[in-house]
Amino acid sequence: MTVLIRLGLGLGLGFVVLAPIVVGFVYEKSFDLNTLLNVFVLSMIWMGFCGVFSSLLNYMLPRKRAVAGEVVDDDSDNTGTSSIKKHRISTSGAGTETTVNNNNSDISLGNNSGDDNHSGGGSEVELQIMALGDGNPPDIDEDLHSRQLAVYGRETMRRLFASNVLVSGLQGLGAEIAKNLILAGVKSVTLHDEGTVELWDMSSNFIFSEYDVGKNRALASVQKLQELNNAVVISTLTTKLTTEHLSDFQAVVFTDTSFEKAVEFNDYCHSHQPPIAFIKAEVRGLFGSVFCDFGPEFTVFDVDGEEPHTGIIASVSNDNPALVSCVDDERLEFQDGDLVVFSEVHGMTELNDGKPRKIKNARPYSFTLEEDTTNFGTYEKGGIVTQVKQPKVLNFKPLREALSDPGDFLLSDFSKFDRPPLLHLAFQALDRFISELKRFPVAGSEEDAQKLISICSSINESMGDGKLEDINPKLLRHFAFGARAVLNPMAAMFGGIVGQEVMKACSGKFHPLFQFFYFDSVESLPAEAPDSSDFKPLNSRYDAQISVFGSKLQKKLEDAVVFMVGSGALGCEFLKNVALMGVSCGNKGKLTITDDDVIEKSNLSRQFLFRDWNIGQAKSTVAASAAQTINPRLHVEALQNRVGPETENVFDDAFWENLSVVINALDNVNARLYVDQRCLYFQKPLLESGTLGAKCNTQMVIPHLTENYGASRDPPEKQAPMCTVHSFPHNIDHCLTWARSEFEGLLEKTPAEVNAFLSNPTEYASAMRNAGDAQARDNLERVLECLERERCETFQDCITWARLRFEDYFVNRVKQLIFTFPEDAATSTGAPFWSAPKRFPRPLQFSAADPGHLYFVMAASILRAETFGIPVPDWAKHPKKLVEAVDKVIVPEFQPQTNVKIETDEKATSLSTASIDDAAVINELIAKIEQSQKSLPPGFRMKPIQFEKDDDTNYHMDLIAGLANMRARNYSIPEVDKLKAKFIAGRIIPAIATSTAMATGLVCLELYKVLDGGHKLEDYRNTFANLALPLFSMAEPVPPKVIKHRDMRWTVWDRWIIKDNPTLRELLQWLREKGLNAYSISCGSCLLYNSMFPRHRERMEKKVVDLAQEVAKVELPAYRRHIDVVVACEDDEDNDIDIPQISIYFR
């Protein structure tokens, strides 16, 4: 079909353009043979253009994505249709496999052990796929979905790509759910809504503009939602929904339907074969609910999404039960009852049968096996133990039963453990209220609130033994007042939760919500209760929000001065949220957003304000412009500055002092710590959040109420010892770390060193002589190699270099290693040297017939050519011709040496060894380099290559994957495909839209409290959530540590200020009056005063600011009005007192 479209458009355009010309010639009076020839030539030229144009259309026209059970239109004549209408994962139990047959092509969608992020290493077929194009089906755009693939894996993504979802109700919640599903890339989303857009919807729905008022909600949503992902089919349904409509979907979501209709629809979905996942979700003011029913038997293939835990075996006893001990390299994460499998065990080979075995008595470095190993062989060495992830079958109850017998509720806040049963009643009471009165309760109406409370009480009385003792009329009053409103932060939060539940239903990945979840954030209400009149609508886009919070808080939101740091995934969501809330939309309000990054393709699957045509543009500028489209009243300034000490002239004292609140949307700890210190210094609230895959956390940093972000730190990630990475790897992470290091050394650092020398040989030589260490010697050796021994002038030279690198890395170095440490080598204590976790390596034998070997040479030679500016011939990517070139390379014989030192000390930080004659060697190397420079062409420079993980055409990841996998073969470590290599070597942070949406929704619920002011510590909430489990853990923040001295109290939030430009003596006296004896004063890293130094007493009459300029060399630009000093003090009993930082104002 696509061929016909292209051909038709190409020829059609040709006819339209060429016909008038031909007609003109025909009617020309001088029509002769020359004219005929002109027509013929023009025809030929245009036919050629049509061919090119039709080819271009191949890329311009939307392409239909390949999904399970669906034919993809291409140039072949495929006329078959799918024999199966739709696919849904099996719900009949674990281990069932469903296969979709389509045009004789089998697509397996069976039981996934939960480890769909892995690809096994070792088989010849897999290696060939990895080497020659990575074997990835065309249906997954890895550039777009790389961060999502890191969370879900390919199998889960394929299941999502085959899923059809219905979203009913397109107010704020429905729009958020649809957005998250479309970004994730489900096959299709059908939008259902019979209602029309109202001004009321503007408080929560980012899709609608005021021009959409009066249009059908579903129809008004299509275009903007389609922009998020052109690969998803989006359709609408604007008529009354019937059960027959539901049969076309794997999952259906209802956000605005009565319980009566919900029960009807759920009964149909529950009994359908296969069952259709049913979700009912509601957001009513500051209250929300979710109900899930995925059928009578639903199989979860991977309950948590975590990698299977592993351990390296140190010993196994011949006992009943057997005791298994593991090396103390890392703590074991096993739990009692886990199933594990063993591999690579020497001696007790009976364990290598692949049979899952149950463990008990799990300890940090050991466990017992529920098995008698008395008659097994004696354990000798080696072995890996790996957790086996088991499927789990869940039996969901239909809504009809669950309403009266809800079971256990999923808790989010343990301070509200009694809240879910009450909200279970409240939502039913609201449904009955609407059914009876055909409307929602009116905000501020005490009569309506009492009516709702009465209905709730009536339902409670009918519950018999399940009756609640207290129905909390005050809470129900708040519920009634805000019942009609859909607030954006609540919609964002629940949109993330529900979106994730839909993806669980469609894929079997992660544990579903079972079955009810209720949440409220009544603490977000103003500290001072508004008058009833304050809730009245103002005929504005914020009326829904005003109906919950009142117009006074709305004014505070609009006048807020906000600093948002970062406009990536979190930043896009925050911008959307604050625009809808009306933050910084008033005359006094202003939002400043900064981000120094530009948009990349991989951003588009989460950072929903960006489109493909924005790639390469500044994130902050595009995001700010998109946010103004959502709410034109937003006063936003977009900057491209990194926030740090170097930009304090941009973000100066006046800037910070004028802020109402700071919202972090950052992706690194160092930047967070800097912003945290600025907020501490200027005493500004900081709203902090972060995500990692399906996990998210939020932290509120409130002046004088909570501790700051930097008060608690996560422990640093454990780094593998250098000797392990370079000589004794025992997992693929070690291999990839080494590969990344070698890539940067060969292709970036060494060419940069060469250029540094060529730019200024004299200065470079002088610097190396002055350094005079092993590192300088190594740098010079690498430069000499590049300019002399390994210099490339032709592409054949690059192939020779790559082939010899293979020999060096995977043959010669291994031969040297096992020569120095033979397989039977022992340590100084007599223990076997090659004991766990060390793995004894084997050298590879290069074979041009091995695709992995050949692909390594191809990638390495292409990148080597790039560093030397050598053109890459077309034949370089042709296997046969590449083999011919490789066969020309003469590989010298290698002989191991006896005097080679190989580092085995795990504490060593460098592999370079110092020598007493380093200076002489350095001089000799410099002389050789200067000599080799003479043979270089004029102006010769190398081109350093900076690693870029997200460009699959640049061969960077091909080389790194090749390096890592060849090394893995040396050590019998399972290999990985290029995508997995990219995750590890590229240090990709797994990310999905759902957890991002939830985190920002939670933060914006706290933003109401911050901008209102007057809230107590117990009103705020920090949150940790894991949507995979699901787990929601909310708690009030930790207060700051209080320091007391005499009658004074202070915390980390306090800063002492001294004005009038004091002298050093005046500063000391000011402190003495507080009972503090200062013995040391410093500014930055310089000491201005220390009582032990007699000469420092000569500084007593000098101004402190002058000392800072003279001693600490502090520069004081015009915008600076003060300096900060740190003072160490004692009390009169010589006890150290930790006092606040002191700011000395001199202007």
536: Cβ contacts below 8 Å, ≥ 6 apart: 443, 444, 546, 551
Contact yes or no for 955/860 (Cβ under 8 A) = no
Using CA atoms, how far apart are residues 477 and 499, in angstroms rounded to an integer?
Answer: 30
Strands 392-394 and 357-360: unpaired
Contact yes or no for 249/265 (Cβ under 8 A) = no
Using CA atoms, how far apart are residues 15 and 18, in angstroms rounded to an integer?
Answer: 5
SS3 label, residue 452: helix
Torsion of CA 418, 420, 422, 424, to 10 degrees: -160
Tokens encoding 287: 């209250």
- Give 733: exposed, middle or buried? Use CB within 10 Å, 0-12, 13-18, 19+: middle
Using CA atoms, how far apart are residues 285 and 283, in angstroms rounded to an integer?
Answer: 6
Return the percent helix, strand and coil in the chain, to nearest 5: 45, 15, 40
| Catalytic residue list contains 723 | yes
For helices 142-152 and 154-161, the axis angle rounded to 10 degrees is: 110
What angle (nearest 5°) sits at the alpha carbon of residue 110, between those of residues 105 and 112?
130
Tokens encoding 1079: 């013995």
Which residues are 360's β-sheet partners? Answer: 368
Look up tokens 């129809």; give the residue.
Answer: 219
Look up tokens 């540094």; give the residue.
Answer: 756
Contact yes or no for 619/569 (Cβ under 8 A) = no
Dihedral angle sign, alpha carbons of residues 29, 32, 36, 39: negative
Question: Taking the mean position of all CA atoms in its chain, how far away is CA 991?
Answer: 3
780: Cβ contacts below 8 Å, ≥ 6 apart: 768, 922, 925, 926, 929
First to last CA, the chain: 76
Using CA atoms, how far apart are residues 615 and 547, in angstroms rounded to an integer?
Answer: 40
Which residues are 699's β-sheet partners? Answer: 688
Using CA atoms, how far apart are residues 964 and 960, in angstroms rounded to an integer?
Answer: 6
Tell which residue, 502, 512, 506, has the closest CA to residue 155.
506
Instruction: Look up residue 381 and give its DSSP letter.
Output: B
Using CA atoms, how far apart are residues 175 and 778, in angstroms rounded to an integer?
Answer: 59
Using CA atoms, how far apart are residues 679 and 785, in angstroms rounded to an integer?
Answer: 51
Look up tokens 């690693």; give the residue.
Answer: 947
- Give 28: exposed, middle or buried? Use CB within 10 Å, 0-12, 13-18, 19+: exposed
Tell which residue, 364, 572, 530, 516, has the closest CA to residue 443.
530
- 168 membership: H or E segment, kind and range: strand 164-168
What sections of 1024-1131 are H helices per DSSP? Answer: 1064-1072, 1104-1110
SS3 label, residue 108: strand
Instruction: Look up residue 526 and give its DSSP letter.
Output: -
Catalytic residue, candidates 269, 292, 679, 723: 723
- 1089 membership: H or E segment, kind and range: strand 1086-1090
Contact yes or no for 1091/1072 (Cβ under 8 A) = no
Tokens encoding 571: 């930043």
Using CA atoms, how far apart are residues 428 and 518, in angstroms rounded to an integer?
Answer: 13
- 966 membership: H or E segment, kind and range: helix 956-970
Catalytic positions:
723
